[in-house]
Amino acid sequence: MELSEAIIKAKENNQMAFNFLLETFWNDVFGFMIKRTQNENDAEDITIETFFKAFDKINSFDQKFKFKTWLITIAKNTHLDRLRKQKNALTNQTTEEDENRVYWIQDDAPSAEDKLITEQNLAELLKDIKKLKPHHQEIIQLRYFQEHSYQEISKIIDVPINNVKVKLLRAKKLLACIIRSKT
């Protein structure tokens, strides 16, 4: 499918055209947002929101312009909107009284007992992870213990990034079932 054909079909609510556009431009928008936000989760959220907005307003797209540029502009504006909302929320939330109260906050650093309980819980979690199939264990290890990004995991296990997300979701669901079955 060609880009211009996909855009025309997307304007007619063709799901395959939407999928084509998403797959074609996901990495461009996500990469742009990673550079702006320096945070993979925020970048992914904004990218998803960008495509939602773009597909919702696809009829307003003028084909005199490049589709990628249009998407990047939506992503940039979505990011700026989020930043404004965060700034307003912070400004509206703190009062002088709140600022003075900060000095009376108790130390919540974990005690020796808390650390021991955390270590025991981690040991239990590791036992539960070992009950998963090796490929599920690997993807959980890569994401949560070695803290690799989706893109890094994609390269390590040599599968597309969307498959990484699906595999990780399945692994988490299976792990949740294992944990629930013990209670």
The separation between CA 65 and the C-alpha centre of its own chain, rounded to angstroms, equals 29
Whole-number Å distance between alpha carbons of 111 and 65:
59
Calculate mean pLDDT across residues 113-117: 73
Does residue 113 register a pLDDT over 80? no
Whole-number Å distance between alpha carbons of 49 and 45:
6
pTM exceeds cut of 0.95? no
Amino acid symbol at 171 = A
- What is the H or E stretch that residue 170 is in? helix 161-182
Q: What is the pLDDT of residue 1?
A: 74
Choice between 51 and 112, residue whose per-residue pLDDT is larger: 51
Q: What is the pLDDT of residue 91?
A: 64
Q: What is the pLDDT of residue 94?
A: 63
Q: What is the pLDDT of residue 25?
A: 95
Does residue 167 register a pLDDT over 80? yes
